[in-house]
Structure 1
Amino acid sequence: MLGIALVNMLVALDQTVVSTALPSIVSELRGFEFYAWIASAYLLASVVTVPVFGRLGDYFGRKRFVLAAVIVFTVASALCGLATSMPFLVAARGLQGVGGGMMVGTAFASIPDLFPDPRARVRWQVIMAAAYGIGTAAGPSLGGWLSQHFGWRSTFLVNLPVGVLALYFIWAHLPNYRRETTGEVRIDWTGAVLVALVLGGFQMFIEAVPKEGLTGGNLLLGGLVMIGAAALLVCERRATHPIVPLDLFKDARLVTLFTLSTLSGFVMFSLIFFAPLLLQGGFGLSPQQAGLLATPIAACIALGSVINTRIVIHMPKPTLILSIGFSLLVAASVGLALATPVTPHVYLEFAMAAVGIGLGFILNNLNVFGQEIAGRERFGITTALLQSTRMVGGMLGTSIVATIVNRRYLAGVEDSLRVLGEPAASTWLPHLSDPRILIDETLRDSLLAQLAKAGLNGAGLVDAARHVLVQSIHIGVMLTGGAALVAAFVVRRIAHITFRRSGS
């Protein structure tokens, strides 16, 4: 459990430490158009690998895959720290996502192997919550402090010592449980390739359409994704050992859980990746200040998980805890959408705390409920699909919110510059349309000096750009609140799930 907990800490550190450093990364390497891809590359690679290795773990045991996952993730973290350009960083994040997907698909499925009784499993989740809490609580402030004093590269390199410790404990102590199989296991490589192509094409489609519209190329891409999805269905029906067992989707309760997992990922990743941009770019805070304000998200995920383990096993309707969690996310999203640069920091911390507690009530319970429904032989693939759907939701969330922010920010800056008339508006648009000026103090000072030479009120134009960025992110945050509200109502469809005691 200590080894698995350290794996959990690696995932938590990566999500929170890096998110705080994202504005600094964009400032140095440039390329704001790649902002969402720093998140999306990791999520896409994880989405592809989670179900594949979750299923392979069901067949061949999980230990070897957990060890390989930690090695890949740690090496990829080092490559991220050495990145010299945004495309290089995106590629390294993709490799990191492969390792992260392998970890999520195998390490978390090892817990029900060790604790078949769901009530005992819920109690042991305290260790997972503590590890996740340490990683996430330390992440925002650590990421802000590291990026401010040692540069953003150190936020990736911090994964290395944790990865080495996780590798030792997994290698030395995790049992190599492997269920008995009858006959030869034929790995569904065709299904695995089709999963990768369909999800990759879908990601490209949702990135391209908001930017370019329904062009001929995008329509062709959408058609290819649909054809690939149809081919995947045919392939999985015929496979003797399918990567994605289609019979799982015949259970309405599991389908509902997959839907809730998608919505939770949409909300969680959108808030984690765009809250720092709101605080730094919109409100003008330093990376360290933004990290400290975001810390309650992380700390309260652990707090919510600990509270959850104490109460959920005693509830006549355990799924009620999911409704409470999603309701907290709705309230937090509304609170952040109403925040302004003059909003007291205590108010912001309460909103961040609500996000954390809400996620603490949701994340572990989705896994436990899914494992309870699916049964022992499908622990791995069910856990993997829950993680995959969460990452698909995150992929959708970060892409859609990034598109909204980019388009709304550009349009708002254009409107602000119209008062200058032509040709001044066209001259200064390329400078002010890059949000890096709101994050990079050196770049901003240089622009202010140039505007002053031209006889323009540079401070007023920068303040106008900040206002537009805040409005843009507010729209995205309200969208995440809407997704959480939908999830709160969808929970009603699984209200009858209860915990059974296991005699195994």
Structure 2
Amino acid sequence: MAVHRGAHHSSGQVLPFRESLLAMLGVSFVTMLVALDQTVVGTALPTIVSELRGFELYAWVATSYLLTSVITVPIFGRLGDYYGRKPFVIASIVVFTGASALCGAANSMLFLVIARGLQGIGGGMLVGTAFACIPDLFPDSVVRLRWQVLISSAFGIANAVGPSLGGFLTQYYGWRSVFYVNLPVGLISLVFVWRYLPHLRQVAHKARMRLDWPGALLIALALGSTQLFVELLPRYGVSLSTAALLVVAAAAAWALWQWERRTPQAILPVDMFRNPSLNALFTLAVLGGFSMFSLLFYAPLLFQGGFGMSPKEAGLVITPLVVFITIGSIANGRIVSRIRNPNIMLYIGFTMLAAACLAVVVATHTTPRPLLMALMIVGGLGLGFVMPNLTVFAQQTAGREHLGIATALLQSLRMIGGMIGTALTGTMVTHLYKSGVRSALDADHATHWLPQLADPQILINRDAQSTLLGELTHAGHNGALLLESAREALVGAIHMGIAVAAVIALVSIWQTRRVPHISLNRKIEPVIHAD
């Protein structure tokens, strides 16, 4: 192994320009793989649920992916710190792409949820290792921000084509094609990473690393129990089973904290949480993930099921949200290194996100499409100002030895926030929608039609709507009025869910004051080349 110093470090990077460019293209394709999957699937999800018939598992298509990702991100973030990240990036591409093929072959919602869980393992490996490759390649934070334009561009391409592509593929080739689109992207990613990404290690470890399996199991138990509790509480209220889940989650979290304090090679270094700067950034990652994922997953359902748009129309309206996350990230990279107080970008970002969520809450089916797209632009820019800065600030604060686990923890905590957000919003939407439909049916003395209208998929499936309208008319009911009442119930339910996301974004503005002043210094440290 050789240590890279001198000329390359003078420009803040460990490789010459050409090698840096090819390596970053490899990482960019990897991030495009994850981004494309998230945006394409989000738009297609209402149609998937409509065909596979299982709205009660709607939230689990997202949360099963998030849950397994959350568990695997810190594990592989830690392993990458010790053994280098390249082998895990390669393995993650293989797992993620294979799981995408399984998702496309799903014949039931349960199969899809399980396949998405496997996909989440690959996604967690990707997030835990690929994002930490960037500070490996560019130790200088200012140089790193410039090179991150490539990553932002990769996200931009995926996010620009993702929602529209998801709508187009769903409408003309069926929802299964939205998973199969990952296969060629995965193959390109694999070729670039295999050939061009160097095998870098931050620290030379004399002793063989022992993975903290008890810590990993306790993380899985704590997060899994929390997820089930969040899912079941709105449906069953305070019962013996939900109380037991809460107790298990609390006990596992306490045991995890105690165990990690005593373990020499802890998967979750608790001393990082004692750092006030990192602690504040981790808190903001959870809050930001809550608002972001709630908006990303439930805006398409609002536009299709609530406002009556086709998948293609909904894809076009949601596109500015994900595209302007990228544009905001690129603009942020140009701004944040030139201003005296980089923290100000967090205030601006969370304010824009809160404004976008609040505006969506008051939007109706008569709101002009250009105005809806403008709201998505504001939300996207806000997220673009927040997410890259949380990552760079955490990397700057954590130090070289904990770089991988700090990056992984930030991504993991953002997904925990997303998991809680999608689960809470999903259960709230399900509960409020059924309650609204039941009230409308009671008023028309048509309660026995509840099973046909209790699942919002009826508001997306045009063929099923026509059949139900005929049956309701034949039975002497005003079918069009009942369907419209169901649509209004869905809009009201999603509005309530996104209102919670708006409140969380407002709380984030207040929490940002806890982040100490961050200075983007140009400190360079040696990196060990393992090839």
Which band: TM-score by shorter chain?
over 0.9
**1:415-430 matches, cutoff 5 A:** 415-421=439-445, 425-430=446-451
Query: Which of these residues, 164, 173, 189, is aligned with residue 196 of structure 2?
Result: 173
Aligned-pair distance for 1:495? Answer: 4.5
CA distance, structure 2, for counterparts of residue 340 and residue 217 of structure 1: 38
1:197-249 deviations in Å (ceiling 9; x for gaps): 11111111111112111211221221122221222122212212110011101
Residues 69 and 121, structure 2, Cα contact 8 Å, conserved in 1: yes
Residue 457 of structure 1 aligns to which amino acid in structure 2?
N
**In structure 2, what is the equivalent of residue 454 of structure 1?**
475
Matched, 1:334 2:363: no
CA distance, structure 1, for counterparts of residue 249 and residue 144 of structure 2: 38
Residues 16 and 143, structure 1, Cα contact 8 Å, conserved in 2: yes
Matched, 1:470 2:496: no
Residue 315 of structure 1 aligns to which amino acid in structure 2?
I
Matched, 1:392 2:416: yes
**In structure 2, what is the equivalent of residue 199 of structure 1?**
223
**In structure 2, what is the equivalent of residue 287 of structure 1?**
311
**In structure 2, what is the equivalent of residue 268 of structure 1?**
292
Residues 277 and 516, structure 2, Cα contact 8 Å, conserved in 1: no
Q: Quick check: 28-37 or 455-464, which moved more? A: 455-464
Query: Which of these residues, 319, 327, 333, is aligned with residue 309 of structure 1?
Result: 333
SS at match of 1:98: helix
Aligned-pair distance for 1:333? Answer: 0.7
Query: Which of these residues, 511, 518, 523, is aligned with residue 490 of structure 1?
Result: 511
CA distance, structure 2, for counterparts of residue 270 and residue 229 of structure 1: 25
**In structure 2, what is the equivalent of residue 158 of structure 1?**
181
SS at match of 2:200: coil
**In structure 2, what is the equivalent of residue 90 of structure 1?**
113
**In structure 2, what is the equivalent of residue 73 of structure 1?**
96
**In structure 1, what is the equivalent of residue 18 of structure 2?**
none
**In structure 1, what is the equivalent of residue 4 of structure 2?**
none
Residues 137 and 297, structure 1, Cα contact 8 Å, conserved in 2: no
Query: Which of these residues, 242, 261, 280, is aligned with residue 218 of structure 1?
Result: 242
CA distance, structure 1, for counterparts of residue 459 and residue 276 of structure 2: 47
Residue 209 of structure 2 aligns to which amino acid in structure 1?
V
Let me know the Cα RMSD of the aligned residues.
0.9
CA distance, structure 2, for counterparts of residue 39 and residue 89 of structure 1: 10
1:339-361 deviations in Å (ceiling 9; x for gaps): 11111001100111111111111
**1:36-75 matches, cutoff 5 A:** 36-75=59-98
Query: Which of these residues, 150, 159, 162, is aligned with residue 127 of structure 1?
Result: 150
SS at match of 1:84: coil
Structure 2: 5+ residue stretches without partners: 1-23, 526-531
CA distance, structure 2, for counterparts of residue 17 and residue 407 of structure 1: 27
Residue 265 of structure 1 aligns to which amino acid in structure 2?
G
Residues 18 and 156, structure 1, Cα contact 8 Å, conserved in 2: yes
1:174-206 deviations in Å (ceiling 9; x for gaps): 110122013232221111111111111111111
Residue 83 of structure 2 aligns to which amino acid in structure 1?
F
Matched, 1:144 2:144: no
**In structure 2, what is the equivalent of residue 16 of structure 1?**
39
CA distance, structure 1, for counterparts of residue 207 and residue 51 of structure 2: 55
Identity %: 54
CA distance, structure 2, for counterparts of residue 305 and residue 346 of structure 1: 23
Residue 467 of structure 1 aligns to which amino acid in structure 2?
E
Q: Quick check: 191-200 or 90-99, which moved more? A: 191-200
Residues 52 and 243, structure 1, Cα contact 8 Å, conserved in 2: yes
Aligned-pair distance for 1:392? Answer: 0.4
Aligned-pair distance for 1:97? Answer: 0.2
TM-score (norm 1): 0.98
Matched, 1:185 2:206: no
CA distance, structure 2, for counterparts of residue 503 and residue 453 of structure 1: 76
How many residue pairs align between the two structures? Answer: 501
Residue 246 of structure 2 aligns to which amino acid in structure 1?
G
Residue 74 of structure 2 aligns to which amino acid in structure 1?
P
CA distance, structure 2, for counterparts of residue 435 and residue 102 of structure 1: 34
SS at match of 1:108: helix
Structure 1: 5+ residue stretches without partners: none
Residues 354 and 505, structure 2, Cα contact 8 Å, conserved in 1: yes
**In structure 2, what is the equivalent of residue 431 of structure 1?**
452
Matched, 1:355 2:376: no
Residues 261 and 366, structure 1, Cα contact 8 Å, conserved in 2: yes
SS at match of 1:284: coil
1:230-274 deviations in Å (ceiling 9; x for gaps): 221222122121100111011011011001000111011111110
Residues 38 and 89, structure 1, Cα contact 8 Å, conserved in 2: yes
Query: Which of these residues, 28, 32, 38, is aligned with residue 5 of structure 1?
Result: 28
Residues 320 and 495, structure 1, Cα contact 8 Å, conserved in 2: no
